[in-house]
Amino acid sequence: LRPTPEKKEEKERVRLALLRGTLRLAAVHGFPSLGLREAAREAGIAPTSFYRHFEDMNELGMALIHDLLEPRLRELADSLQSADPGQGPADELVARTFKFIEEDPELLRFLLAEQHGAFPAFRTALRTRLAALAEAVHAASGPGTPLSAAEASIVLLLDGAGRALDSEPGARQAVAVRLVETMDRLLSNPQNGPGA
Amino acid sequence: LRPTPEKKEEKERVRLALLRGTLRLAAVHGFPSLGLREAAREAGIAPTSFYRHFEDMNELGMALIHDLLEPRLRELADSLQSADPGQGPADELVARTFKFIEEDPELLRFLLAEQHGAFPAFRTALRTRLAALAEAVHAASGPGTPLSAAEASIVLLLDGAGRALDSEPGARQAVAVRLVETMDRLLSNPQNGPGA
DNA sequence: TGTACATCAGTGAACGCGCGTTCACTGATGTAC
DNA sequence: TGTACATCAGTGAACGCGCGTTCACTGATGTAC
């Protein structure tokens, strides 16, 4: 008794509408203040239909992390493998991250907010995924760079992304440039000077 | 028709009970999910009495920033003026911040969460106050340190504080040591080597 | 092929509950004279 | 001194509202034979 692929796709579409609608609302009011009925309304389904997809809003939040955010972060990490090895990873990483800001600001806002938000399950899940990104940065950095510096560079990256989100789109380029400088300062070996 | 000092103190006590009670609840459920009735209950007053002190929860949140957090941050900034000028500010700053964690973890949790939270008024108010702290770090750093590095060091400080909050109290010392190293790496002049 | 049955996403009615807010009131205390 | 009045923090009753959740149902579609 398996459902036809078309039925599966249909269900997937509604599920995605719930995820995207929730992100849209969370960008305005914040995820923790959202209710199940609000999410269902935004997705265009009846409140009771919510339960066909998620048990509650927490489960939906975890799906946001797993289904939407994780692929994005993996993409960022993978892009560092093919980056210019003479340059250091900061430039490539910031460029990709700011493209991410343009393409999906709501998802980034969610990441920023819940990274230090009140729900421990979100914090833990997000930190795990950001740690993986930090490892990729570490691998793409010079041999003298400690892992803690790579981790710190991710922290700066996220904070810079948050500042960019709150800036006018025209001012974002300046934020990006300063961010790359600071990350380079942190990642490059002080003994050898920056960029070596 | 002025109220007697005792009456003023009494009102101040209730107001403080509202602020502290809200912080206590926000540390568990998050500030954005808190309601006026919940805050009043925790403070031991009737729901309607809330209005004698604040118009709504947003106003209470701004009072948290102005009345409780701002003095703490000012204290941190002032402590840097008397710090050892040969050492750089990171060691002193981290030590004071981790004392802050011990003394008032709930207030620090609020700062961390709302710094990137969904309410723009909180974000703006907190960034202004953190910028002032960054300037103090800048003033206490070596002459080659750019302001952007001082700002970034505050970002790392807050992230480190968040990690410490989520660690066992016994593991916090290790977090502090690594944090000082990373901040020093960022603040010291790469040309001259660390700590010079 | 047709027929009986199972699955399952979506639904509307209904529930009890806690919410924010209003209102008129109390009681203590300060002020005017 | 006493008396009338103003101020104001705190209160309980009451309101309408949106919430999360349950329930039984529909209708489309896949399976068994």
Compare CB distances from B185 to A30, A149, A181 and report the shortest one's residue: A149
Which of A29, A152, A185 minimises the CB distance to B118? A29
SS3 A60: helix
How far is it between the farthest Cα atoms of chain A? 66
Model confidence at B196, pLDDT cuts 50, 70, 90, reads very low
Task: Write down the pTM of the prediction.
Answer: 0.93
**pLDDT of A189:** 63
Residues of chain A numbered 56-95 and touching chain B (CB < 8 Å):
none
pLDDT at A192: 46
**What length is written for chain A?**
196
| Pairwise CA distance, residues B50 & B34, whole Å | 14
d(C-alpha A115, C-alpha A106), whole Å: 14
Query: Which chain A residues are Cβ-neighbours of B191 within 8 angstroms?
Result: 193
Identify, with chain letter, the residue nearest to nucleotide D11 (CA–C1'): B46
pLDDT of residue B149: 98
Closest CA–CA distance from residue B151 to any residue of chain A (Å):
10
CA A26/CA A32 separation, integer angstroms: 8
Q: How far apart are CA B120 and CA B100, in angstroms?
A: 25
Residues of B in contact with A162 (CB under 8 A): 116
From the Cβ of A21, is strand C under 7 Å away? no
pLDDT in tens, B61-111: 999 999 999 999 999 999 999 877 778 899 999 999 999 999 999 999 999
Whether residues A116 and B115 touch (CB distance < 8 A) is answered with yes
Radius of gyration, alpha carbons of chain A: 19
Residues of B (137-196) placing their beta carbon closer than 7 angstroms to any atom of strand D are none
Cβ of A144 less than 7 A from strand D = no
pLDDT in tens, A130-166: 999 999 999 999 999 999 999 999 999 999 999 999 9
Q: Catalogue the long-range contacts made by A49-57 (C-beta closer than 8 Å, 24 or more residues apart).
A: A49/A14, A50/A18, A52/A11, A52/A14, A53/A11, A53/A14, A53/A15, A53/A18, A54/A18, A57/A22, A57/A31
Residue B8 has pLDDT above 90, yes or no: no
The rounded distance, in Å, linking the Cα atoms of A125 and B42 is: 30
Supply the DSSP symbol for B145: -
pLDDT of residue A7: 81
Residues from chain A that touch B28, judged by Cβ atoms under 8 A, are 118
pLDDT tens digit sequence for A15-33: 999 999 999 999 999 999 9
Q: What is the pLDDT along chain A (196 residues), one digit of tens a residue?
A: 667 777 888 999 999 999 999 999 999 999 999 999 999 999 999 999 999 999 999 999 999 999 999 999 999 999 999 877 778 899 999 999 999 999 999 999 999 999 999 899 999 999 999 999 999 999 999 999 999 999 999 999 999 999 999 999 999 999 999 999 999 999 986 544 444 3
Share of chain A above pLDDT 90, in %: 87
Cβ A115 vs Cβ B111: under 8 Å = no
Kindly tell me the sign of the dihedral angle through the C-alpha atoms of A19, A21, A23, A26: negative
How large is the angle between the packed helices B105-115 and B90-103, nearest 10 degrees? Answer: 110
Alpha helix segments (H runs only) across chain B: 5-29, 36-43, 57-63, 70-81, 90-103, 105-115, 120-139, 147-166, 172-187
Cα distances (Å, whole numbers) of residue B141 to B85, B127, B135, B160: 8, 21, 10, 20
Which positions of chain C lie under 7 Å from any protein Cβ? 6-14, 18-24, 29-31
The 10 Å Cβ neighbour count of residue B119 is: 18
For the stretch B134-177, pLDDT in tens is: 999 999 999 999 999 999 999 999 999 999 999 999 999 999 99
Contact list, A148 vs chain B (CB under 8 Å): 178, 181-182
Position B7 scores a pLDDT of 81
Separation CA B162–CA A115 (nearest Å): 10
> Torsion-angle region of residue A35: left (phi > 0), alpha (psi -120 to 50) or beta?
beta
Strand D: positions under 7 A of a protein C-beta atom: 6-14, 18-24, 29-31
Q: What's the Å distance between residue B105 CA and nucleotide D15 C1'?
A: 40
- Count CB-CB contacts under 10 A for residue B27: 18
- Identify the residue among B147, B148, B178, B186 best suited for mutation to test binding to A, counting A beta carbons within 10 A and taking the highest: B186
Average pLDDT over residues B24-47: 97
Percent over 90 (pLDDT), chain B: 87
Distance CA B18, CA B12 (A): 10
Q: What pLDDT, on a 0 to 100 scale, did the predictor assign at position A98?
A: 98
Contact flag B32-A30 (C-beta cutoff 8 Å): yes
A83 phi and psi angles, rounded to 5 deg:
-75, 160
Q: Alpha-carbon distance A39 to A21, whole Å?
A: 6
Neighbours of A54 (CB within 10 A): 19
The answer to whether A118 contacts chain B (CB < 8 Å) is yes
pLDDT in the model for residue B87: 82
> Which residues from the 19-58 window of protein chain A have CB within 7 angstroms of nucleic acid chain D?
35-38, 47-48, 50-51, 56-57
Amino acid letter for position B61: G
Quote the tokens at residue A85: 């090895």
DSSP code, position B86: T
**Measuring from the CA of residue B57 to each C1', which nucleotide is nearest?**
C20
